[in-house]
Structure 1
Amino acid sequence: MAIKITCPYCFREFNDNQVHFRSSYVNTGARKIAGPDGQLFDSISEMEMSYGDEDKAAVAQIVHEYKESSFYNPVSSDKEYGAFWKKFGDITTEVDSVNKDRNKKLMYRKVIDPSDIQHQKHLVKQKNGDYLIRDPELKNMVTSIRLIDGDKSQTSMRVCPFCHNPLPDVYGLYPVEFISVIGIVGAGKTVFLSQFMNGFRDYAAECGLTAIKSTASITQFLENNRVKEGMPLPPPTAEGRFEQPLIYNIERTSNNNSKETVTIVMYDIAGEVFKNAKAQSVKDFAPFIKKSDGIILLIDPKQFESIQGTQLFESSNNQEDIQKPSDALENIHSVIMESDHKYDKPLAVCVSKMDGITEYLSRELIDYISTPYTGEEIKGTYLNKQIFNMQAHKAYDRAMAEFIARNDKATMQQLSTGYTNYKFFGITALGLNAEVMADKKVSGHIQARRIEEPILWMLSQVGLISSNEAECPYCHQRDAFVSHRSWNIQIKKEIETKKLHFISKKEEVLVDVEVNCRCKCCGMAFYYDAYSDQSFAYKGGGKKDGGM
């Protein structure tokens, strides 16, 4: 069966046998042309003039092969690729640091469509009569093609058939979750992402997962945005610039001890995009927000009016430069919902740079950002459970909510009006002992705190891990998947019916009940109310697997 793939750039859906490929062979036109006797020439015409009729057939064959090789000439403009990047200033952020020669760079290579009859002339037909090469160890997924011309190499550089942007190796083989990271102006999103990705493998281990880089863009991002003592902080993402998606494969062990993999795609989106809900940039970035399974929103504390202008932050001469979180939330909501409905996917509301506002924080919050996130260990092992430690975070969630409400009631009101599933986090990407100097260089010991917490919570919300938030009312374990969307199950309920002569009779009927949790220990489904922190069982028990 064909494997369904959703492009992480244009979000068009297609089967794996519809992918296109970038050629591994490039004809740069710089090579010499060898005549029938091996003599080298600079051009076809020079070679043709050097041989008589007796070599006519051999020369004709060389000319044919030379013209066929022009199929692999580098392209100056790829129509599909160009149409995508036109929305983002006509400047691609795809980087090929390996090939110094522009003509050999990946984005300028010939894109081959294996279903195109003209393109098939350049491909090796497989034994099954197809031009596609499949990998039996990857669910028979289409992974490559083999070229007839040039170096006769096998190429596995897949691209989307609609926008010609690159598809990472094995992308589409596993379920995909999309997450948008939006930084309101000045929130330090780039520093946050750099610090997080530097430690993602360790952070994933805190909840029993293994994180594996899937794209070279992650390495490139880290090289371009280093956070190091004595070095200037990375510059913010330019308005209107689309950064390459940051893609990881996340591995976990299932209950039957087999390995499962989920692909996580993270989008780096500048908050300036949402300054004006009607701006073209909003329309260009809207698909990434709409398709996201969750949003992480970073707020700079100087955006709170009660903190603006203090000695902790430079006072803005132009108040319009300060983007209000409530305005950004309203604009984001208008983009993703386009209606009066509330946004019900998970939203992590993160206040960044908490290290700079300690005099505004309670002792509880100072302790919170001074200590690292800790998972929950499996007894008798050195490994952690595949859960987000919501039990430990609950008190901090309340404290952060109180802090934001005290400093910015408009933001709290906007959350209440437009969103249903949100949690609060406080983070510091540099740590309490680091200081940003006037020249933007970092002084002191850098030690990020709590930056992984919002993303780990997001992983629990998209179903990758569980949460110890809810206690199962059946087996009383705190190891359940809490869904951000409820679903219905059917249970048997005894009702009393009246027959003739007013004789009552009890009958069992199936009724629908609402649940939003499934226990990973006993498999039972139940309803958990986060506000009262109570779990509700159903008489007779919820159906195992409960429809999720």
Structure 2
Amino acid sequence: MLSFIKKIFVTRPVPRQKPEYYNIICPYCFHKFKPEEVVFRATHTRDDDDEFMERIDENLSKWRKRFKADEVYMEAVIDPVTIPDENRIYSEKVLVGVVDRYGEVTRRRLCPECHNVLPVSAGKVPSNIISVIGASQVGKSVFIASLVHTLQNKTAVNFDASCIAMTPEVGNRFNNRFIRPIFENNTMIATTSVNEQMDPYIFEFKFKDDNKETLTLVFFDVAGEGMTSREYLEIQAEHIKNSSGIMFLVDPLQIRSIRDKIHLKLGTEEQNEFSSKYDEPTMVISGLYENFIAHQPNSRTNIPTAVVLTKSDMLHYLKEEDSDYIQPNSNVFRNVVHKEYLNNIEFENINGEIGRFLQKVDQSFKSAVDVYFTNKAYFAVSALGSNPKNTELSGVVSPIRVDEPFIWLLNQLGYIDRRDT
């Protein structure tokens, strides 16, 4: 009877009336604009028409220059203001195509600022940029790989949804970069370079329930070594500022007091070399503050932020009965499956435990998070389930609680319920 009453009085997200269109945030340069402001890439070239000749795309080349990439020759860009109304193609009141003066149809919509190709659903559904940030060596690439693999194979099923790459090209690029090395070859992936071209990984998370809006998820694998670099963050601050949610990853080995207590099965020399590569997590907040947070109202951000302690399997080295750090029966070591809704009891357990843990081991970092992030929660995940040895993975990859921060963000964005049962 009590559980029945709880279900009656459970707090659910207030249904939102769907607008005629959504403003588009370009997943490449983060320029924000209305769907009517898109431009189109022609599907053909003509040597007898200057406007349709192949040429250097100045806008796209300027964007590529940030990553030291070459100029590119492309088909012409068509501004829809030059197209008669009868030759414009709409879907759900969103401009999705035009017929040029040669009768050729193009649906290749571009950002008017950088001329990168937009997702096919842009303007029809909200664009949710999920920023995964953290210092070098924290495991962002591995976390993104494990998260998306879990979303596609488990989480989506648990929430009556589907998670697919927006295009075959994105799917192939993601699989080659992340999935095959880890889940098929049992090897680690290369660290992201600050000079690497920042092409986003775009996925669609679509619910069977038509009353729930589809999410366009845009993930960035941001180079960790750039998170304490002013020049790098000046470029990346725009996508963080326009994020719907942030996952702030913290490695236990970034915390000096923990490094002294965790004894990895490495030689002394290797261990010292390994530890010296880490930036303190407060340095990442300093970089974010200078390039992003300081420019927000009251010098704080209200973007939902999941503070995620990664590599939680390493905390086995700390567990002790009556420990001030981690006890053997800790929530950290127990995988939890959220189905249909965010289990509030499980969430509060891990949120409280990791918040208290960080308060003990790195009070300055915890205090900085509490001051500068007004909407945050604490999590612990293991993207692999065990620590790799010399870039090789042993046994089956078994992530622990890896999708929990994302599920919390779904709740914060109003897509799923949060219940105590």
Structure 1 3/317 Cα, relative in aligned 2: closer, same or farther at 3 Å? closer
Question: Which residues in structure 2 correspond to 1:72-471 (within 5 Å)?
Answer: 72-75=52-55, 77-90=56-69, 108-115=73-80, 117=82, 129-134=85-90, 138-147=91-100, 149=102, 153-201=104-152, 202-215=154-167, 216-225=169-178, 226=180, 227-228=182-183, 230-252=185-207, 258=211, 260-276=213-229, 279-308=230-259, 310-312=262-264, 314-317=270-273, 321-338=277-294, 341-361=299-319, 368-375=331-338, 384-385=339-340, 387-432=341-386, 435-438=387-390, 440-468=391-419
Structure 1 367/91 Cα, relative in aligned 2: closer, same or farther at 3 Å? farther
8 Å CA contact retained: 1:229, 1:442: no
Deviation at 1:370, TM superposition (A): 4.2
* Higher strand content, 1 or 2: 1
1:274 partner letter = M
8 Å CA contact retained: 2:40, 2:110: yes
Partner Cα separation in structure 2 for residue 343 and residue 324 of structure 1 = 21
Structure 1 155/408 Cα, relative in aligned 2: closer, same or farther at 3 Å? same
Is 456-465 or 202-211 further displaced after alignment?
202-211
Unaligned runs of 5+ in 2: 1-19, 321-325
Tell me the residue number matched to 2:4: none
8 Å CA contact retained: 1:229, 1:441: no
The DSSP-based 3-state class of the residue aligned with 1:447 is: coil
Deviation at 1:264, TM superposition (A): 2.7
Deviation at 1:364, TM superposition (A): 5.5
Deviation at 1:323, TM superposition (A): 0.5
Partner Cα separation in structure 2 for residue 168 and residue 436 of structure 1 = 36
8 Å CA contact retained: 2:21, 2:125: no
8 Å CA contact retained: 2:22, 2:125: no
Tell me the residue number matched to 1:544: none
Tell me the residue number matched to 1:16: 35
The DSSP-based 3-state class of the residue aligned with 1:338 is: helix
8 Å CA contact retained: 1:4, 1:14: yes
The DSSP-based 3-state class of the residue aligned with 2:61 is: helix
With the length of structure 1 as denominator, give the TM-score of the two structures: 0.64
8 Å CA contact retained: 1:17, 1:132: no
8 Å CA contact retained: 1:252, 1:259: yes
Partner Cα separation in structure 1 for residue 215 and residue 183 of structure 2 = 31
1:187 partner letter = V
Partner Cα separation in structure 1 for residue 278 and residue 383 of structure 2 = 21
Structure 1 140/412 Cα, relative in aligned 2: closer, same or farther at 3 Å? closer
Tell me the residue number matched to 2:11: none
8 Å CA contact retained: 1:358, 1:366: no
The DSSP-based 3-state class of the residue aligned with 2:371 is: helix
Deviations 1:110-143 (A, max 9, x none): 13224465xx6xxxx6xxx533222xxx313222
Partner Cα separation in structure 2 for residue 141 and residue 72 of structure 1 = 25
Structure 1 367/317 Cα, relative in aligned 2: closer, same or farther at 3 Å? closer
Deviation at 1:354, TM superposition (A): 1.5
Deviation at 1:295, TM superposition (A): 1.0
Deviation at 1:148, TM superposition (A): 5.4
1:322 partner letter = Y
Deviation at 1:193, TM superposition (A): 0.7
Percent of aligned positions that are identical: 24
8 Å CA contact retained: 2:253, 2:275: no
Deviation at 1:348, TM superposition (A): 0.8
Is 394-403 or 446-455 further displaced after alignment?
394-403
Structure 1 259/463 Cα, relative in aligned 2: closer, same or farther at 3 Å? closer
Tell me the residue number matched to 2:5: none
Deviations 1:168-203 (A, max 9, x none): 112111122222111321011111111111221321
Structure 1 373/2 Cα, relative in aligned 2: closer, same or farther at 3 Å? closer
The DSSP-based 3-state class of the residue aligned with 2:368 is: helix
The DSSP-based 3-state class of the residue aligned with 1:357 is: helix
Deviation at 1:421, TM superposition (A): 2.0
8 Å CA contact retained: 1:325, 1:411: yes
Deviations 1:96-121 (A, max 9, x none): xxxxxxxxxxx74313224465xx6x
Partner Cα separation in structure 2 for residue 148 and residue 208 of structure 1 = 44
Deviation at 1:23, TM superposition (A): 2.4
Deviation at 1:306, TM superposition (A): 2.2
Deviation at 1:460, TM superposition (A): 1.1
Deviations 1:129-166 (A, max 9, x none): 533222xxx313222223555xx642211111121011
Give 1 or 2 for the bigger CA radius of gyration.
1
Structure 1 238/108 Cα, relative in aligned 2: closer, same or farther at 3 Å? same
Structure 1 259/305 Cα, relative in aligned 2: closer, same or farther at 3 Å? closer
With the length of structure 2 as denominator, give the TM-score of the two structures: 0.81
Structure 1 196/139 Cα, relative in aligned 2: closer, same or farther at 3 Å? same
More relative contact order, 1 or 2 (CA 8 Å, 6+ apart)? 2
Is 226-235 or 408-417 further displaced after alignment?
226-235
The DSSP-based 3-state class of the residue aligned with 1:396 is: helix
8 Å CA contact retained: 2:342, 2:419: yes
Deviation at 1:427, TM superposition (A): 0.9
Partner Cα separation in structure 2 for residue 146 and residue 366 of structure 1 = 64
8 Å CA contact retained: 2:35, 2:94: yes
Partner Cα separation in structure 2 for residue 284 and residue 229 of structure 1 = 34
8 Å CA contact retained: 2:24, 2:127: no
* Higher helix content, 1 or 2: 2
Structure 1 271/80 Cα, relative in aligned 2: closer, same or farther at 3 Å? same
Structure 1 26/364 Cα, relative in aligned 2: closer, same or farther at 3 Å? farther
Deviations 1:64-89 (A, max 9, x none): xx523x754443x3211122232333
Partner Cα separation in structure 2 for residue 3 and residue 318 of structure 1 = 46
Structure 1 347/2 Cα, relative in aligned 2: closer, same or farther at 3 Å? closer
